[in-house]
Structures are given as structure tokens and as C-alpha cells.
Amino acid sequence: MTTPRRNRVDLHCHTTRSDGVLAPAELYAAARGYGMRLVAITDHDTLAGYRELRSAGLGARPSAAGPELVPGVEINAAAPEIPDLWEGELHILGFGVDPDDEAFEATLERQRTLRRERFSRIADRLRTLGMPVDDALHEALPTDVSSAGRPHLARALVLAGHASSVDDAMQRVLARGAPAYEPRAGLGPREAIEAIGRAGGLAALAHFPAAPEREGLIRELMGCGLRGLEVHYRGFDPATVEAMSAFADRLGLVATGGSDYHGDTLTYAEAEQLTCVPDAVGVRFLATLAGVPARDRR
């Protein structure tokens, strides 16, 4: 969705610490160059990128040095028991979590371990299918990756000549129902939401345009502590944004939004040109974070 003004809020983006293509410092520099004011790095199952930038003294407040940073994480919660979910998952964003919470970090480490095991199983399947990627992984999976995932394997498939693009690799080889698919293990939605709450965070449901038609499910998640809904997502058309916004308002969920930038097909600037998160959404989001008790945002 093209925006008539420069976007300044991005509450969903990824670095090389999970499955993005830009290192944390590179992503922050790109955000600064674009004029961003509020950014949450939401790497999968890791806060490593946020910690690096915090250690460098970046992101305490919006300034000429760059945008304000909010600690964030994305947890791909396995939900095979819930019917009609894409890949049997719900993606839960955790904002404002304590980056030094040892219990939460232990939970994320368990998630990362399960990711590595799934990664190995998929690599084994690819060998069996005659599409080995071992020689390409040194380039597709840098040593500084904290949380490996299928996008790394998709990039390796492209490098090895087994796929024409990351999207081709994901849909034809790695997606649910495709030959190399392996189901996800780990936290379910309730467990993910509750873990985020215990770490002082605000849990929001990511890129789920079916939310207005699944009110019973959303209310069930709210009973576990869900507080937000990603309304202003780069892939949503205006009608979807309007429906999601009205739904969030009616249920009292705080709206979030972002580019979900990974970098395989777009530069950061190009992704932001297709993202429109109103400044008022950022203001309300920060006010919600500030107004909820630090250790229990439910």
C-alpha cells in the first residue's frame, strides 16, 4: 500500500540475527537514513540484535542518530489444533519485553534449539530429494545468526541452483505440503503470550487479516493476555486495514504495524515506501507500553 507521506513507524522488522539480510547496525542505519522515528526489531526468537544496538548506545530516544528502539521479538507459535491456520501457526509479537530477563531468554533459547533441529531435518530431506544445499549454507547462513529458519534454506536453494527465487523455494519446496516441509515444534500461542507477559511485554498478533472473522479465537487469546493486533501491515490493502482497525478498536486491542522487512526482494527504503503506520499509532503504542505495569502487561 503506497503511502502519500514518508512512513516513520515500523514495529515489525528483522535483522541477520534471525532471517533478515541486514545486520542490526545496517538496519538501524537504513532506518536513520529513511527518517524513521520509532522502530521495533522483532527477530524470531532472539533479542540479540536489539541488545547489540542498545550496547552501542543507540535507540534510547528519536534523534539525529536514529529512531527510538523498542525491544521486540516474534514467536512463531505452533497451533495445529486450531483449524484453518496458514501453516498451522500464529505469529506472536512481544514488545517492551525485558531484554535481560533470564527466564524469558531461556524460553527463547529452547525455541532456537527446536529451530536448529527442524533446520537439520529439512536439510536432510533436501539431500534425500536430490537438492542438497550443504555447500551453499556457508553463504546463506552466516555465523552470526542466532535463530536459523527456512528463509536461510530458501536462500541456499537459490544459491545451489535448485530454485529461481526465495519465494519459489519457499512455496515449491519448503512450505506446508511441499516435499521438504517439516512441522514446527515449540511454544503454542497461549504459552508464547504468557511468556511475553511474564517478561514485562505486550503481546500482539501479527499479520492475521482473518481476525475480524475469527473473533472467538481472538477473544480466547485475549484471555491469555493478548493486548495488541497488527493492523497496519505492509501487505494489507486499505479495506483490510480499515476492517482490522475497527475490529481492534471494538475489542480494545492496541493497533501496531510494520513492514515485516527481511530484505530478500526490497531495500529497507522500498519496503517503507509501501508501509503506512500513522504517527498516532506509534504515540498510542508507546503510551500503552508506558502505562502497563513493567512485569505484567496483561
- Same domain membership, residue 282 and residue 193: yes
CA 131 to chain centre: 28
Question: Stretch 71-91: mean pLDDT, rounded?
Answer: 94
Contacts of 47 (CB under 8 A, 6+ apart): 71, 72, 73, 97, 99, 105, 108
Specify the pLDDT at position 297: 37
In this prediction, residue 4 carries a pLDDT of 57
The region of weakest confidence among 3-17, 23-37, 58-72 is 3-17
Q: Kindly state the helix (H) or strand (E) to which residue 205 belongs, with its residue range.
A: strand 202-205
According to the model, what pLDDT value does residue 105 have? 98
pLDDT band at 298; cut points 50, 70, 90: very low
In a domain, 2, yes or no: no
Select from 225, 291, 287, 210 the least CA-distant residue to 255: 287
Do residues 98 and 73 make contact, with C-beta atoms less than 8 angstroms apart?
Answer: no
Asked if residue 193 and residue 72 are part of one domain, the reply reads: yes
Q: Where do the H-state alpha helices sit in the chain? A: 24-34, 48-55, 102-128, 137-140, 150-159, 166-169, 189-198, 215-224, 238-251, 268-273, 279-291
Phi, psi of 202 (to 5 degrees): -105, 120
Q: Look at the chain and count its residues.
A: 298
Identify the domain containing residue 83 by its residue range: 9-100+187-291
Average pLDDT for 221-226: 98
133 vs 152: CA distance, rounded Å: 10
C-alpha to C-alpha distance for 98 and 166, rounded to whole angstroms = 33
Three-class SS state of 264: coil
pLDDT for position 291: 79
Higher-pLDDT residue of 295 and 139 is 139
**Pair (90, 117) in one structural domain:** no
Instruction: Please indicate, yes or no, whether residues 30 and 146 belong to a single structural domain of this protein.
Output: no
Q: What average pLDDT does this structure show over 182-209?
A: 97
- Is residue 206 in a domain? yes
Strand partners, 226: 203
- Residue 294 above 70 pLDDT? no
pLDDT score, position 2? 44
Q: Which residues contact 151 (CB under 8 A, 6 or more apart)?
A: 19, 166, 170, 262, 264
Looking at the structure, tell me whether residues 117 and 265 fall in a common domain. no
pTM higher than the cut 0.85: yes
- Quickly tell me which residue has 514488545 as its cell: 95
Q: CB–CB of 77/185 below 8 Å?
A: no
Position 144 confidence tier, pLDDT thresholds 50, 70, 90? confident
Same domain, 195 and 250: yes
Say what percent of the chain tops pLDDT 90.
Answer: 93
Task: Say whether both 163 and 251 belong to one domain.
Answer: no
Do both 20 and 60 map to the same domain? yes
- The pLDDT value recorded for residue 240 is 98
Each residue of 20-60: pLDDT tens digit? Answer: 999 999 999 999 999 999 999 999 999 999 999 999 999 99
